[in-house]
C-alpha cells in the first residue's frame, strides 16, 4: 500500500457515509483461515470484487486519518481502534472507484499529473526542501506521484458521474436565505480611519504630554480645514499598515479593537472626529466615516456564498448516492470484523 503524503489525501471522500454488511460467522471464519495461509504476516480485512484490503493497508490508512486533522491525545493513543471503521470505508471507496475507472477505461492525462506534481513542489521553498519533506514521511517521489495519480483518477470518476447535476436555482438560494436568518445577521459596524502617535513603554509624563499636544494640534488643523484627515494620517501616523491609505481601517464590529478605541469610535457620529484617545499603543485621533446599525446582510451580498454552499452540498449528496450505487452492485466480503480487529489491535 502506497502511503500518500498527507497533503494528497482525497478530502472529498470524507463526506461519504457507507456501512459494511458482514458475512455470516461461519463463512467469515473460513475466509480468515484461508487468508491466514495466503499471507500470515498481512491478513486480509475485506475483499472488494475479489481484491484484498490487508491489515497493513488499513493501518496505513489509519495513520493518514490520524494526521489529517486535530486529534485528541486519547484518539491518537487509541487510533488503531478509533479510526478502524473510517479507514476501511475509505479503502473500500477507493477500491470501488478504481474498479469503476478500469471498467470505463479512464486514465489520468500525463500533462495534468505533471502539473499537479509541480503545484505540490511549488508549496516548498525549494526542490531540496520538497525532497526532504518526502524523505521525512518515508515516501518516494514515485510513490507520491502514484498516490496523486490515484486521487486525480478518483476525482475524474466522480466528475463524470456528477457532470449532469444541476446547480442550485435562484429559488433555492432565496429559500435558504429566508430559512436561515441566523447565518446572515450583521452586527453594528463602524468605518473609521485613525492617526496613531506611538509611545514607548518608558515614556515620561512630559513625553506623553508632548505627543498628546501634537495630536491635538493636528486635530485642530483638520477641523479648521488646513489639512485633510487622509493627508494628515499619511504624514504623521505611526501605523505603517494604514498610513499610506490615509489611516483607513475599513469597517469593523465591536470586539475587534482595544476597548478605549472601540468606545470612542462607536460613540462618535459619522463624519466627525473623536477626542484624542489613549490606548496601550499610544495616542489616536479617530475619524468616523460611516456607521452601520445591526441588521441583516442583504440577499444580493449573500447569493454567491449561498450558491457555492448549496452546490457543494448537492454534490456531496449526489456523490454519496453514487458511491452507494457502486457498493450495491459490488461484492464486498468482510473477512475480519471490527470485534476481531479490536482483539488484535486494542489495548493490551
- Across the range 140-163, mean pLDDT stands at 93
Q: How confident is the model at residue 348 (pLDDT cuts 50, 70, 90)?
A: low
Q: What is the pLDDT of residue 64?
A: 86
Burial of 105: CB neighbours in 10 Å, binned 0-12, 13-18, 19+:
exposed
| Percentage of residues in the chain having pLDDT higher than 70 | 88
Q: What is the pLDDT of residue 347?
A: 75
Least confident of 1-10, 132-141, 221-230, 274-283: 1-10
If one looks up domain 188-293 in CATH, what number appears? 3.10.50.40
Burial of 204: CB neighbours in 10 Å, binned 0-12, 13-18, 19+:
exposed
Query: What Cα–Cα distance (Å) separates residue 68 from each residue in 5, 59, 65, 71, 127?
Result: 10, 14, 5, 9, 24
Parallel/antiparallel/unpaired status of strands 295-296 and 185-186: antiparallel
- Across the range 14-20, mean pLDDT stands at 26
Comparing CA positions, the residue from 146, 115, 143 lying closest to residue 131 is 143
Residue 277 DSSP code: E
Q: What is the pLDDT of residue 73?
A: 87
269-314 pLDDT, tens digit per residue, is: 999 999 999 999 999 999 999 999 999 999 999 999 999 999 999 9
Q: How confident is the model at residue 39 (pLDDT cuts 50, 70, 90)?
A: low
The pTM for the full model equals: 0.64
Question: Would you kindly state where each structural domain of the chain is located, as residue ranges?
Answer: 6-166+312-345, 188-293
Q: How confident is the model at residue 27 (pLDDT cuts 50, 70, 90)?
A: very low
213-231 pLDDT, tens digit per residue, is: 999 999 999 999 999 999 9
Q: What is the pLDDT of residue 10?
A: 31
- Is residue 104 within 8 Å of 98, Cβ to Cβ? no
Domain 6-166+312-345 fold = Triger factor/SurA peptide-binding fold (1.10.4030)
Q: What is the pLDDT of residue 87?
A: 95
45-70 pLDDT, tens digit per residue, is: 999 999 999 999 999 999 989 988 78
The residue assigned the cell 459619522 is 270
- Across the range 34-51, mean pLDDT stands at 75
Q: How confident is the model at residue 72 (pLDDT cuts 50, 70, 90)?
A: confident
Comparing CA positions, the residue from 213, 234, 190, 178 lying closest to residue 283 is 213
Amino acid at each position: 500500500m502506497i502511503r500518500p503524503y498527507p497533503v494528497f489525501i482525497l478530502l472529498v471522500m470524507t463526506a461519504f457515509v457507507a456501512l459494511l454488511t458482514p458475512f455470516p460467522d461461519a463463512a467469515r471464519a473460513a475466509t480468515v483461515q484461508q487468508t491466514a495461509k495466503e499471507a500470515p504476516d498481512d491478513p486480509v480485512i475485506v475483499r472488494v470484487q475479489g481484491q484484498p484490503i490487508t491489515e497493513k493497508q488499513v493501518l496505513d490508512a489509519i495513520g493518514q486519518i490520524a494526521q489529517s486533522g486535530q486529534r485528541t491525545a486519547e484518539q491518537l493513543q487509541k487510533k488503531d481502534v478509533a479510526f478502524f471503521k473510517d479507514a476501511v470505508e475509505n479503502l473500500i471507496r477507493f477500491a470501488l472507484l478504481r474498479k469503476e475507472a478500469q471498467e470505463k477505461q479512464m486514465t489520468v492525462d500525463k500533462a495534468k499529473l505533471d502539473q499537479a506534481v509541480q503545484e505540490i513542489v511549488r508549496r516548498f521553498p525549494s526542490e531540496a526542501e520538497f525532497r526532504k519533506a518526502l524523505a521525512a514521511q518515508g515516501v518516494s517521489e514515485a510513490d507520491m506521484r502514484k498516490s496523486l495519480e490515484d486521487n486525480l483518477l478518483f476525482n475524474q470518476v466522480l466528475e463524470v458521474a456528477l457532470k449532469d447535476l444541476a446547480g442550485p436555482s435562484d429559488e433555492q438560494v432565496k429559500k435558504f436565505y429566508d430559512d436561515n436568518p441566523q447565518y446572515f445577521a450583521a452586527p453594528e459596524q463602524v468605518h473609521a480611519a485613525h492617526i496613531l502617535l506611538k509611545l514607548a513603554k518608558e515614556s515620561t509624563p512630559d513625553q506623553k504630554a508632548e505627543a498628546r499636544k501634537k495630536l491635538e494640534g493636528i486635530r485642530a488643523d483638520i477641523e479648521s480645514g488646513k489639512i485633510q484627515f487622509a493627508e494628515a494620517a499619511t504624514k504623521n501616523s505611526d501605523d505603517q499598515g494604514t498610513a499610506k491609505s490615509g489611516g483607513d481601517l475599513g469597517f469593523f464590529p465591536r470586539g475587534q479593537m482595544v476597548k478605549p478605541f472601540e468606545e470612542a469610535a462607536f460613540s462618535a457620529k459619522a463624519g466627525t472626529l473623536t477626542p484624542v484617545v489613549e490606548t496601550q499603543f499610544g495616542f489616536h485621533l479617530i475619524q468616523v466615516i460611516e456607521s452601520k446599525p445591526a441588521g441583516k446582510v442583504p440577499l444580493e451580498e449573500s447569493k454567491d456564498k449561498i450558491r457555492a454552499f448549496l452546490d457543494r452540498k448537492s454534490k456531496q449528496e449526489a456523490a454519496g448516492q453514487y458511491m452507494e450505487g457502486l457498493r450495491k452492485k459490488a461484492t464486498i466480503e468482510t473477512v475480519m470484523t471490527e470485534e476481531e480487529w479490536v482483539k488484535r489491535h486494542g489495548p493490551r
